[in-house]
Amino acid sequence: MSVVVLISGRGSNLEAILDAGLPVSAVISNVAGAGGLAVAARRGVATRVVPHGDYPTREAFEMALMREIDAFAPLVIAHAGFMRIVTSGYVQHYRWRSLNIHPSLLPSFTGLHTHERALAAGVKLHGCTAHFVTEDLDGGPIVIQAAVPVLPGDDAGALAARVLRQEHVVYPRAVRWLLEDRLVVENGRVSVRGGDAQYLLADRA
Angle of CA points 100, 183, 8, to nearest 5°: 15
> Please, are residues 141 and 174 in contact by the beta-carbon 8 Å criterion?
no
Cα–Cα distance list, 8 to 33, 84, 126, 196 (Å):
9, 8, 24, 30
Strand partners, 200: 146
> Please, are residues 202 and 126 in contact by the beta-carbon 8 Å criterion?
no
> Please, are residues 111 and 172 in contact by the beta-carbon 8 Å criterion?
no
Task: Please give the single-letter amino acid code of residue 70.
Answer: D
> Please, are residues 167 and 11 in contact by the beta-carbon 8 Å criterion?
no
Which residue out of 102, 115, 126, 168 is catalytically annotated? 102
Is 102 tagged catalytic?
Answer: yes
Q: Which residues are catalytic?
A: 102
